[in-house]
Amino acid sequence: MIVRESNSFVHTLVYQLPKEGKTCCGDSFFIKATEDYFICALADGLGSGERANDSSSAISALVERKHNEDVDVLIDLCNQELKDKRGATVSILKIDFKNNQFTYSSVGNIRFILCSPTGSFIYPLPILGYLSGKPQKYRTQTYSYDKGSKFIIHTDGLVLPGAKALLIKGRSVEELSQSLEAYTKTRNDDLTYIVGQLF
C-alpha cells in the first residue's frame, strides 16, 4: 500500500506491507498536511495480525480525531487509549511550517531521522518500551529545520543499515522510496515507512 500527502510545504509518501504470510498489518499510521502544520503518527502493535492492528489502529484513529493538539498531549492520550489493549510502540511528528520547527516524541523502536540540505542530521532517541496505558515517561523534543530537509520514519520491520547515506544523496521522495524497495523483500515483521521532504 502506498499513500501520499502533500501541499506547498511538504511532500510525503507512506509505504506499508504486512508480515509475510499475514493479510492484516500490525502497523498503522495517520498523516495530514494543513496550511499550518503536518502531522504524522506511526504505531507498531505488539506482535502481528489482528490484535496488533487493534492496538495500532486505535492510535491512528485517536490522532486523526485530535491532530490539532500538541505532541506532548497526543502521546499521553495515545498511552491512555491503549489501556486494556496489547500495546504498541508509537511515534508522533508534528511540523510547524510558519516557524520552521518540528516536534517529535516516540516510545519504542520506531526510528526517525531528518537530513538538512547541508548534510547535517537530527536523530531524536526514543524512550525504550511501549505504550500500554501504564504510567509512562515521555521525551518530547522540538527542533528547527531548513527548507529542503528530508526525513524518514520507519517501524522495525524495515531493517535499514544506511538511512543517512540514502537521505544525503538529494533524491526526491519518490526516488527515496524506490531506493528503499530493496530493503522490503524480506519481511519478518510488519513494515511501514514514511518519507518526506519539506519546502
Distances (CA, A) of 65 to 43, 73, 114, 136, 152: 15, 13, 26, 22, 24
Q: Is 47 left (phi over 0), alpha (psi -120 to 50) or beta?
A: left
CATH number for position 17? 3.60.40.10
pTM for the complete prediction?
Answer: 0.96
pLDDT for the residue 93: 98
Distance CA 42, CA 56 (A): 8
Q: Residue 105 corresponds to which cell in the numbers above?
A: 516524541
For residues 45 and 28, the answer to whether their CB atoms sit within 8 Å is yes
pLDDT for the residue 170: 64
State how many domains the chain has: 1
Place of cell 492492528: 53
Q: How many CA atoms lie within 13 A of 140 on its CB side?
A: 16
Nearest to 107 by CA among 41, 53, 197: 41
pLDDT for the residue 78: 98
Distances (CA, A) of 147 to 12, 41, 71, 95, 135: 14, 22, 21, 12, 37
pLDDT for the residue 188: 86
pLDDT for the residue 72: 97
pLDDT for the residue 169: 81
Distance CA 193, CA 110 (A): 10
Q: Read off the amino acid at residue 187.
A: R
Place of cell 511532500: 11
Phi–psi pair at 50, nearest 5 degrees: -65, -40
Domain range for 33 is 2-198
Q: Read off the amino acid at residue 122.
A: I
Q: Angle at the Cα of 159 (from 154 to 164), degrees rounded to 5?
A: 70
pLDDT tens, per residue, the chain with 199 residues: 999 999 999 999 999 999 988 899 999 999 999 999 999 999 999 998 999 999 999 999 999 999 999 999 999 999 999 999 999 999 999 999 999 999 999 999 999 999 999 999 999 998 999 999 999 999 999 999 999 999 999 999 999 988 899 998 867 999 999 999 889 987 789 999 999 999 9
Strands 27-33 and 88-96, how do they pair? unpaired
